[in-house]
Amino acid sequence: MQYSDMTAKMADGDGFIAALDQSGGSTPKALKGYGIEEGAWSNEEEMFGLIHEMRARIIASPAFTGEKVIGAILFERTMDGKVNGVPTPEALIAKGVVPFIKIDKGLEDEADGVQLMKPNPTLDTLLARSKALGVFGTKERSVINSANATGIAAVVKQQFEIGLQVLGHEMMPIIEPEVNIKSETRSQCDAILRDEILKNLDELPEGKQVMLKLSLPVVPGTFDALVEHPKVLRVVALSGGFSRSEACVELAKNKGIIASFSRALLSDLRSQMSDAEFDTALGEAIDEIYQGSTQKVEVVATA
């Protein structure tokens, strides 16, 4: 796939994006969910080796193809690894899956109800290296915990600044200002976030587009204006702590939004499974998330 082919697949492809980008502190939790307890490794290299084996098994599975999984977000070490002897981005592209790279370096402490991204002074180097490996785009995450207009404006401003840096490398940024689903002001957060994103979209240079990765909104249709905006290539949703069934039900209520799930995709997979069991469980998860991404339901407004 050329860049233009990947752009077309992201714009119009039926399916969803697999998030295979757990990193740092979230890796032990991901491995535990996969059935590997913390004592199974003695250092960080072994830990990351185990998580790469899990991801390589997923990517190599016959259930994991570009027919339903149109993209995959990778952790840097996963990007640099191999799947059956082939560089990971190349292995994805061979399956018709568009590769992305997680580029944020974690979160700052909370201020004004949000957590901004930590600085990443080596980002340009990472972007150049990723592009050379055939990676199409990036993903960068910040978190919104409460409906603080100042904080949310700061999150969106930072996200778009990084997005412009990514666009400068002729790559596609996925802007991810996650709203904490446990927030007591979640619905207000959704509305403030939508309006701030719209302001920043209007300031993007003509001819430029971004992708958005958002928490599933409290009120279905909240993000319709973003889905329809000409400077948005695609809107995807994170599961954000919902179970897969819960997330897929909410996803189906939001037209034009596809999934970009991590835990909800991987929750039934175990290292102890036979290959047949693993492929079946992965296939069932893919089918359910695909359905929520592509088969939408009408939501009747209540007074």
Closest listed residue to residue 279, CA positions, set 268, 264, 294, 290 = 268
Cα separation, 274 vs 287, whole angstroms = 20
β-pairing verdict for 114-115 and 137-144? antiparallel
Residue 132 is inside which H or E element, if any?
A: helix 123-132
Q: Please, what's the largest Cα pairwise distance for the chain?
A: 58
Q: Which of 140, 176, 178, 288 is catalytic?
A: 176
**Residue 213 designated active-site:** yes
List CB contacts of 256: < 8 A, sequence separation 6 or more: 224, 227, 228, 235
Cα separation, 101 vs 142, whole angstroms = 15
Cα separation, 57 vs 82, whole angstroms = 11
Cα separation, 264 vs 251, whole angstroms = 12
Where does residue 164 rank: exposed (0-12), middle (13-18), buried (19+ CB within 10 A)? middle
List CB contacts of 270: < 8 A, sequence separation 6 or more: 34, 35, 278, 281
**Are 141 and 132 a contacting pair, CB within 8 Å?**
no
Cα separation, 93 vs 83, whole angstroms = 12
Q: Which of 139, 213, 250, 288 is catalytic?
A: 213
The residues that are catalytic are 176, 213
